[in-house]
Amino acid sequence: MLEQLKKAAAHIQEIERSRANAAQRVRSEARIPKDSLEPEFILPLNKTKIEGKISAVDGGILAYEMHGADLLIAKAVSSTFNYSDGAISTHTYFPRTFSHPSYEVETGLDEREVLWHSSLFRLQLEIQNALETAKKETPDYLLLDGSICPLSSDRPAEESCIFPKYLTLLNTYKELYSFCTENSIVLVGAIKDSRSRRLMEMLRSQVTLRASDTVFLHHLLKEGERTFAFRYSESPQKHHVLRELGKWGEKICAMYIKPVMADRPMRIEFLNGQKSFSETADFISTISSINRSYAYPAILIDADLRAMMNPQELERAKKSLSLFAGPSLLDLRRNSRPFR
């Protein structure tokens, strides 16, 4: 076993050296891809003074599969910080500091639908909370944990019984985009661990190695640098989700920033036209630089802690559901084995 692990480690090290060499070559050549929205390949990040009101939304979810039924428990919470002279002066939470979870039970779902249902339920709670927070607080910036649009993997098959839930979610996103745009609220999504290869696709004429954007950019970007901004998709009209978002699908953009030395670059997404690319990048970088080895907006860290789900909530819900449903509700066979 140790020999196999040593070989695997050596293979990983070789790949990383190849990526590092390729990154240095790309950096030195600095050839701007045609899809870039800016005339420079690498741009500096500048510290900016944080003033005004910032809100952030995150959610948590627990799921339990049963024989013929699926139970979901989730909640979404927003944190709002008021900054004065670069420090937090006041803070509020919506709907409350530690909110009560929402419950949903669906029956008759196949394996794919179980995954779609879980994702759509969580997203609907988060985006609805974001919309209500925007209306209640009208912050200068509104941050989402994750993308500012549904992922392709979130989209159910059109013949699925849960496809209407997806359409409802799209309408909530559109309402959020409209309200933020009309009220000068900068909407930004921060993605913790992006696996996107959009930028690598833009660099395919220069790099033949296979890697996600953040893996490659970890070798390319230095602390206090960012990439150029680019559109979410090369062809929004060919992208199912972006096409269904209508005019908003054309406005969704992204970039990568590296606020601190000892962490990987972070992907951020935003609507084009709200602020300049540099203003948005500098702001998110500044509030993401509180720890030298962990780059993430401080207010989203707070929202994440508020939205964290307690596994005991799931146990209580299971017991209550079993009590009400009686013997008709059975565990999956793999969860009810009489032996191990």
Amino acid 333: pLDDT = 42
How many CA atoms, within 13 angstroms, populate the side-chain half-sphere of residue 118? 16
Give the whole-number percent of the chain exceeding pLDDT 90.
70
The domain segmentation of the chain, as residue ranges, is 32-324
C-alpha separations of 72 from 103, 118, 119, 327 in Å:
6, 7, 10, 20
Q: Please choose, from the candidates 274, 224, 282, 225, the residue with its C-alpha nearest in 3D space to the C-alpha of residue 253.
A: 274
Rounded Cα distance, 125 and 128, in Å: 5
pLDDT of residue 336: 57
Q: Residue 322: what pLDDT?
A: 64
The pLDDT tens digits for 11-29 are 889 999 999 999 999 999 8
Look up the pTM and report it: 0.91
Sequence-distant (≥ 6) Cβ neighbours of residue 304 within 8 angstroms: 58, 145
> What are 271-301's pLDDT values in tens digits?
999 999 999 999 999 999 988 889 999 999 9
Higher local confidence (pLDDT), 324 or 171:
171
Partners of 61 in the beta sheet?
A: 74
In 3D space, the residue among 268, 269, 273 whose CA is nearest the CA of residue 257 turns out to be 268
Residue ranges of alpha helices (H) inside the chain are 2-29, 111-137, 163-182, 198-202, 213-220, 240-244, 277-287, 298-307, 311-325
Q: Is the pLDDT of residue 328 over 70?
A: no
User: Nearest to residue 212, comparing CAs of 225, 221, 201?
Assistant: 201
pLDDT at 128 (0 to 100) = 98
Q: How far is CA 167 from CA 77, 192, 216, 289, 314, in A?
A: 23, 26, 35, 37, 28
Q: Note the CATH number of domain 32-324.
A: 3.30.2170
